[in-house]
């Protein structure tokens, strides 16, 4: 048994010299074998071990298992950490099934404990039998390729901390029957969880009703599942690379960067090129939406957190539809189209950040507005005449404008005076291909007579600087510190005669 498990350890490089391993022990046969094996190879790898046990408070006899685990750890001379968590209450609060809640609470506890004690590995007793059950459950739920990757031999966790932490599963190529046979032959005691026989739980139903029939039909079924996991894992690596490559081509700005899940950090929104997305193969489209969803929502990598196949397909149909208009809701994110772009954003981000719709801009003075600062001051008329090539800074004849200045959002019926004639603001946005979501965020500099400046985009043909100008007002925009998207960088301007200093 030890040799077989060591082959798995070496095959997937689960352990390295001087690893600090937190061993998750429930008291059942799988985790007891895991503890004994790690203790046996402790010297070989120079391991530092700690036992951790969580009482889910779901059964009356749970305290007996906790006592049993403490006793086993004491016999082996391994430190043991035991805690209790109200899983039922957690499930009710977060609207999860007991199975989902127990898993989430358990892994959160393991991860926090490992970080607290400086451990770099968390070892769990998952077996090949668990993989088979998971395979059947996910097929029944309609999982895609990534869902069928099943339980990986190891995976990175601790994304929200600076430490490197992995979950490892040394028993992942051993079936449960082998484990029980070995423990009984060695007269090693273990606990039996009576709830494992309750088929009202979906996993128990699969374990006691479905898997025995599959084994009767195909005795080699567990090995076939293991082989499938390896094949899918290799293909998944290639598909991830193709997805990343495609994303780089269709993302519209650096702030949209999406990385592979293992490396990712949460993002607030992303913008994609519509035409580029439409030209993308369907299989990659699905993956793009799923990966962006996981990053924006910042879910953990459980298959249950992914949008369903039908939900992803509906999102793709919305994007492929030529009509724009209303946004599409995909679970916890919103998707909208405008001006050849696709915007994907978390629901909460759609509400305006500015409670005030209109803010006075004094001369001199400044106003903060949605990640930028809009500043204003009087300029010396004797300054050197110079051209300006962007709209991050504009100038007005003081005597040709009314006071005070205001910064506000757009309003129905807004117009702006351009070189030829007045034009509706809505038509200016359409002509300049400004997406609908940017129109709502774009501040306007106005006086009593109307719009002077679509900040960062267009200056009106009013109050231009002439040779006889006596007083000059300078207004400019700066990105606030920490702003993720540089919206006003090197924006080219449609200049008007006389609009120079």
**What's the pLDDT score for residue 4?**
93
Q: Which of 264, 327, 317, 313 is nearest to 292 (CA)?
A: 264
Count the Cβ atoms, other than its own, within 10 Å of residue 61: 12
Question: pLDDT averaged over the chain?
Answer: 83
Digit-coded pLDDT (tens) for 117-148:
999 999 999 999 999 998 898 888 777 777 77
Angle at 40 between CA 34 and CA 45, to 5 degrees: 100
* Calpha distance 372→41 (Å, rounded): 59
> Residue 16: its pLDDT value, please?
94
Parallel, antiparallel, or unpaired for β 20-24 and 48-55? parallel
Give the fold, CATH level 3, of 358-479: Phenylalanyl-tRNA Synthetase; Chain B, domain 3 (3.50.40)
Neighbours of 195 (CB within 10 A): 15
Tokens coding 415: 């117009």
Asked whether 447 and 405 are in contact (CB, 8 A), the reply is yes
Torsion (CA) 176, 179, 184, 187 in degrees, nearest 10 = -140
Are the C-beta atoms of residues 21 and 118 closer than 8 Å to each other? Answer: no
User: Structural domain boundaries of the chain?
Assistant: 2-217, 230-349, 358-479
pTM of the model as a whole = 0.62
Question: Does residue 264 carry a pLDDT above 60?
Answer: no
Query: Using CA atoms, how far apart are residues 324 and 126, in angstroms rounded to an integer?
Result: 48
Residues 243-268 have a mean pLDDT of 64
Which residues is 103 bridged to in the sheet?
A: none
Both structure tokens of 497? 């005669």
Mean pLDDT of 297-306: 56
Q: How far apart are CA 286 and CA 298, in angstroms?
A: 18
Q: What is the mean pLDDT of residues 250-278?
A: 67
Maximum separation of any 2 CA atoms in the chain, in Å: 103
Strands 333-338 and 341-346 turn out to be antiparallel
Percentage of the chain beyond pLDDT 70 is: 85
- Tell me which of 403 and 53 has the higher pLDDT: 53
| Contact predicate 311/325, CB 8 Å | no
User: Which of 145-159, 256-270, 320-334 has the weakest average pLDDT?
Assistant: 256-270
* Residue 198 or residue 315, greater confidence: 315
Q: What is the mean pLDDT of residues 263-285?
A: 83
Q: Are 475 and 374 in contact (CB under 8 A)?
A: yes
Strands (E) in 240-311, as ranges, are 269-273
The predicted structure's pLDDT at residue 261? 39
Is residue 38 pLDDT above 90, yes or no? yes
Q: Which of 318-332, 365-379, 473-487 has the lowest mean pLDDT?
A: 473-487
Rounded to whole angstroms, how far apart are CA atoms 235 and 240?
9
Helix (H, G, I), strand (E, B) or coil at 363: coil
Query: Sign of torsion, CA 417 420 425 431?
Result: negative
Categorize the per-residue pLDDT at 180 as very low, low, confident or very high, splitting at 50, 70 and 90.
Answer: very high
Higher model confidence: residue 307 or residue 361? 361
Q: Do 428 and 454 contact (CB within 8 A), yes or no?
A: yes
CATH architecture of residue range(s) 2-217: 3-Layer(aba) Sandwich (3.40)
pLDDT at position 478 = 86
Q: Return the CATH number of the domain spanning residue range 230-349.
A: 1.20.59.20
The pLDDT of residue 50 is: 97
446-480 residue pLDDT tens: 998 899 999 988 899 888 888 888 889 889 888 76
- Nearby residues of 89 by Cβ (< 8 Å), 6 or more positions away: none
154 with 12: CB under 8 angstroms? Answer: yes
What are the b/e assignments for 448-465, b being 16+ CB within 10 Å?
eebbbbbbbbbbbbbbbb
Helix axes 29-40, 2-12, angle to 10 degrees: 80
Helix (H) or strand (E) holding 149: none
DSSP code for 401:
S
Quick one: 31 exposed, middle or buried, by C-beta within 10 A (0-12, 13-18, 19+)?
Answer: buried
Residue 445 or 195, more confident: 445
Judge whether residue 372 has pLDDT over 50.
yes
CA distances for 472 relative to 64, 363, 389, 458, angstroms: 82, 11, 18, 19
Q: Specify the pLDDT at position 212.
A: 92
| Radius of gyration of the chain measured on its C-alpha atoms | 31
78 backbone dihedrals φ, ψ, rounded to 5°: -110, 130
């Amino acid at each position: 048994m030890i040799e077989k498990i060591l082959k798995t350890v070496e095959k997937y490089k689960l352990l390295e010299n001087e690893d600090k391993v937190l061993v998750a022990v429930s008291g059942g046969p799988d985790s007891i074998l895991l503890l004994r094996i790690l203790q046996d190879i402790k010297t070989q790898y120079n391991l530092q071990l700690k036992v951790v046990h969580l009482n889910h408070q779901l059964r009356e006899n749970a305290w007996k298992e906790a006592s049993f685990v403490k006793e086993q750890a004491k016999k082996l001379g391994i430190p043991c950490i035991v805690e209790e968590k109200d899983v039922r209450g957690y499930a009710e609060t977060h609207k999860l099934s007991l199975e989902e809640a127990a898993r989430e609470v358990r892994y959160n506890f393991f991860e926090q404990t490992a970080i607290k004690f400086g451990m770099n590995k968390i070892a769990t007793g998952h077996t090949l039998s668990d993989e088979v059950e998971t395979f059947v459950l996910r097929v029944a739920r309609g999982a895609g390729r990534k869902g069928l990757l099943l339980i990986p031999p190891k995976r990175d966790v601790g994304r929200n901390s600076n430490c490197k932490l992995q979950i490892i599963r040394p028993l992942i190529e051993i079936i449960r029957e082998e484990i029980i046979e070995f423990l009984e032959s060695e007269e090693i005691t273990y606990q039996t969880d009576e709830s494992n026989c309750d088929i009202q739980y979906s996993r128990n139903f699969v374990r006691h009703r479905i898997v025995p029939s599959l084994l009767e039909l195909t005795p080699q079924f567990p090995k076939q599942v293991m082989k499938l996991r390896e094949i899918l894992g290799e293909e998944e690596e290639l598909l991830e690379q193709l997805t990343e490559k495609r994303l780089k081509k269709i993302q519209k700005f650096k702030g949209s960067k999406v990385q592979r899940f293992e490396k990712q950090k949460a993002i607030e929104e992303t913008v994609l090129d519509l035409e580029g997305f439409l030209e993308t193969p369907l299989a990659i489209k699905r993956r793009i939406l799923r990966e962006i969803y996981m990053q924006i929502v910042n879910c953990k990598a459980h298959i249950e957190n992914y949008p369903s196949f039908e939900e992803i397909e509906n999102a793709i149909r919305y994007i492929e539809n030529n009509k724009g208009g209303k946004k599409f809701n995909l679970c916890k994110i919103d998707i909208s189209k405008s001006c050849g772009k696709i915007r994907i954003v978390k629901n909460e981000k759609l509400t305006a950040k500015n409670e005030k719709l209109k803010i006075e801009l004094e001369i001199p003075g400044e106003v903060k507005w949605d990640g930028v600062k809009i500043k204003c001051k009087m300029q010396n008329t004797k300054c050197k005449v110079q051209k300006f090539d962007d709209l991050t800074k504009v100038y007005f004849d003081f005597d040709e404008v009314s006071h005070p200045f205001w910064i506000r959002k757009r309003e129905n019926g807004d117009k702006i005076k351009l070189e030829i004639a007045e034009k509706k603001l809505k038509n200016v946005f359409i002509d300049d291909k400004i997406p609908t979501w940017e129109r709502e965020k774009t501040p306007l500099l106005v006086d009593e007579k109307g719009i002077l400046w679509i900040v960062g985009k267009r200056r009106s043909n009013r109050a231009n600087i002439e040779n006889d100008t006596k007083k000059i007002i300078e207004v400019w925009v700066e990105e606030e510190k920490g702003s993720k998207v540089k919206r006003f960088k090197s924006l080219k301007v449609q200049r008007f005669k006389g609009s120079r200093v």
